[in-house]
Structure 1
């Protein structure tokens, strides 16, 4: 049990350093072309640049494409434009995040749905923890996003490199409030396996209010 609690504390600490990082003010000031248009949501400029042959998958210094930039800025139309022009919607930036996981962490159901419609796979392995958008959303109790990802075919029982599923993360890293209880219920109702243990053999404990 001590090892288990230490792992939780370690994850909380390391998560601060490994989390998604939106472009800084200095990075934004350096942007030109597609990256600048994506950040500002200038769809007509994105289309003009596409027509002129601009690189739809160009990377900034930490590997963000224009689609990543638009997702961080919650500029939905600016995500659609490069995608429809042929941009790779399953590209990962240097911290191993895709547009879908960025949207899931931001609790943006509209962008989550859009990303999947544009071809961003809900089964993509993301983050330094080898997780998924579903695990990220479950961890945070973003139940509306969790429901969308489940409906979109996200793997319910994927185990990340910490040994945890989405269900386990919602229990261990959740606050026990209504958002996490609703998240757990969605996962269980969808068929998530409650018997999958972590590396220490611990299984998700029963949560108050969770239907059998």
Structure 2
């Protein structure tokens, strides 16, 4: 016994939905009978939402009829998608013999009381389209996104802001969606109304994985927005260090400027982002690049009172006396903003340390009286005391110590003034620093003490001075320790203990030197 008269394709109705437009799908209804015409009737479980054209008809033997199902226009997304709760019902019946040639179809033919009526019920209705695709991407419905794309939906369709599904996937940080959309051929260079491509979007949200995926698929690394910004401008502007690193590794133009003249380094300086700035300079950023107002990165760091950034820029050779469009130096901007901690580094300090290096005591005194910081450091961590000690200016060293210079200050390599004086062979300075109680055992970053430096330089006189100085320090510490142990109850007894247990200074010094040489 035959169980159906018609074949319906496809087995799911796909309606291409776009808000504000006619949305419809097609059904192909084929008569399976070889000799008999078949009448059909199309209904839905939601008659107010869908219209079938034609809703009824007669199909000749083995013939095919196409039925268009149109949804009513909507300004928003459907209530449920992509698969709706609505169903499509197609009824069929053999055309009565005496009515085969009639155009008019009687509703009585499809009466439920008629046993010869066949019903194909429960066909699913699937709503697809650009808006639905973007909504599913936003909701991370991976399975449904694939199903919608397989229905020949335009992967590059846009919303009212010009955003594609790719823009949305990136803004939601969905790398798996990004891969799927690329699989279906999305246009990576399609810009939204703000002029942002997919790579711009990835740089702004700081998604390193998506950035790498896009670049590996050939996304234009230096594509520009209408304002002239590239992906590296966006990544730097938002402080996304890893994205900046990837862009640089892939060959981004590090010195590209926007239409208003801002480079990536300039933007990092404005934002006070030292880590990003350091990465940019390590990769060849132009430290003297000017911004819209003629300012360099150093101007911006100085105006913001960013001490660490100023030091970093000076280390990389930033010009201190450069003028912006208003004729201001970085020092002028720091002074105008009240950043006194930068005065020494940007102007006064350099001249102060230079005077100490030259041995110009008069100028040293002058700058100190004007407010120069006695312990101010340059970009390498050197103070005026380091400079004077290295150059052997004993009078200036003595004066600086008198003015509370830190005899234990260290530069970026761990050098103290004692290390500097020892390395330069300045015996008088070494003796002076020892007399002021410097720590003789402090090590620079390479692990050497001043005594080890003297030994490596084959300087017996310096080695002797440092060894004896350390020996005297040991004696002094031993005496203090003994007095503390006895709680200072009997000074005479302490002196006796000292004379009986502590060797002479010369003997102790020889023992120490021998141990050091060994």
Task: Name the TM-score class by shorter chain.
Answer: 0.7 to 0.9
Which aligned pairs between 1:13-162 and structure 2 lie closer than 5 A? Answer: 31-126=163-258, 128-162=259-293
- Superposed displacement of residue 58, structure 1: 0.9
Give 1:201's match in structure 2, choosing from 317, 327, 336.
327
Q: 1:57 to 1:209 in 2, by over 3 A?
A: farther
Distance 2:271 2:241 in 1: 14
User: Which runs of 5 or more structure 2 residues have no equivalent in the other structure?
Assistant: 1-158, 335-341, 346-376, 379-518
TM-score after normalising by structure 1: 0.76
2:162–2:193 contact (8 Å) kept in structure 1: no
Give 1:189's match in structure 2, choosing from 315, 324, 341.
315
Compare the two structures and name the one with the higher strand fraction: 2
Q: Which has the larger radius of gyration?
A: 2
Counterpart position of 2:475: none
Q: SS where residue 320 of structure 2 aligns?
A: coil
- Superposed displacement of residue 51, structure 1: 3.7
- Superposed displacement of residue 199, structure 1: 2.0
- Superposed displacement of residue 130, structure 1: 0.5
Compare the two structures and name the one with the higher helix fraction: 1
TM-score after normalising by structure 2: 0.33
* 1:65-85 Cα shifts (integer Å, max 9, x gaps): 011112222222111111111
* 1:152-211 Cα shifts (integer Å, max 9, x gaps): 111110122311111112222x1x2xxx11111111100111222112322111724634
Distance 1:40 1:29 in 2: 16
Distance 2:271 2:298 in 1: 11
2:164–2:192 contact (8 Å) kept in structure 1: no
2:203–2:240 contact (8 Å) kept in structure 1: no
Q: 1:195 to 1:44 in 2, by over 3 A?
A: same
- Superposed displacement of residue 141, structure 1: 1.1
Distance 1:29 1:141 in 2: 32
User: Which runs of 5 or more structure 1 residues have no equivalent in the other structure?
Assistant: 1-26
Q: SS where residue 177 of structure 2 aligns?
A: helix
RMSD after superposition:
2.2
- Superposed displacement of residue 29, structure 1: 8.2
Which aligned pairs between 1:157-168 and structure 2 lie closer than 5 A? Answer: 157-168=288-299
1:41–1:77 contact (8 Å) kept in structure 2: no
- Superposed displacement of residue 106, structure 1: 1.5
- Superposed displacement of residue 38, structure 1: 1.8
Q: Kindly indicate whether residue 302 of structure 2 is the aligned counterpart of residue 171 of structure 1.
A: yes
1:84–1:118 contact (8 Å) kept in structure 2: no
| Alignment: residue pair count | 180
1:156–1:187 contact (8 Å) kept in structure 2: yes
